[in-house]
Amino acid sequence: MIRLRGIQRRFVVGDQSVHALADVSLDITDGEYVAIMGPSGSGKSTLLHVIGLLDRPDAGEYRLSGRDVTTLDDDGLAHIRRSQIGFIFQFFHLVPRLSAADNIALPLVLAGIAPQRRASVVARALEEFGLMDRARHRPDQLSGGQRQRVAIARATVMEPAVLLADEPTGNLDRATGFEVIRILEALTDKGITLVMVTHDPELGRRARRQIHMRDGRVVEDSGRRQ
């Protein structure tokens, strides 16, 4: 499903050009559970943003489900993000003034789903993630674990093929973090492709495949040396 070849991404810092990604090539197949690991500044979050079409590479080719997405305009990228990719972030990125139910409904609103259908889908998501009694609560009225469950529900309400998680447990205590990871793992059992950035080796080892990065390069990929 995900095919990267020779991906490069550079940023200008002061008077220097820094390679956040340097000639990254890899394939991630449908239904894989992948952890991207490495020290701070290794390029793992930049790689996730490129995969999620939140950032464009400076060079290389990226094919998603066989389609070259490096040539798409902003509208084309936005359509694919809405229809095929879900995002989960360390700091939740929920809309503060909206309830849990309305946060979950946002992708459906943007996709133009009719209100009656939207209400049915949101109710099912609230039940699936154990949030029925928190449906009308705003994010500041929820615990960290509940906020992340709302974020996961929002990320999956459009039934994406790919779920991208950037340090999804980084803002949670350890017990709550493992609860969130178990929820994500249950989604992979349904066939969703999960690509997770984590600095925690214990969490990384739970993935079925580990990709290690350093200085913008993939240095190890589940036993296959780069």
Per-residue pLDDT of 187-219, as tens digits, reads 999 999 999 999 889 999 999 999 999 999 999
- Here the tokens at position 92 are 């939740």
d(CA 158, CA 130): 18
> What confidence score (pLDDT) does residue 147 get?
95
Q: What is the CA radius of gyration of the chain?
A: 18
Q: What is the amino acid identity at position 134? A: R
Neighbours of 13 (CB within 10 A): 8
Domains of the chain: 2-225 (3.40.50.300)
Counting as low any pLDDT under 50, the low residues of the chain are 223, 225-226
What sections of 29-173 are H helices per DSSP? Answer: 44-51, 74-84, 100-110, 115-128, 144-156
> What confidence score (pLDDT) does residue 128 get?
94
DSSP class of 165: E
DSSP class of 217: E
DSSP class of 154: H
Task: Dump pLDDT digits (tens) for 21-53.
Answer: 999 999 999 999 999 999 988 999 999 999 999
> What confidence score (pLDDT) does residue 224 get?
58
> What confidence score (pLDDT) does residue 143 get?
95
- To which H or E segment does residue 180 belong? helix 174-188
> What confidence score (pLDDT) does residue 14 get?
78
Backbone angle region of 81, left / alpha / beta, with phi > 0 → left and psi within -120 to 50 → alpha: alpha
DSSP class of 137: -
pTM of the entire structure? 0.92
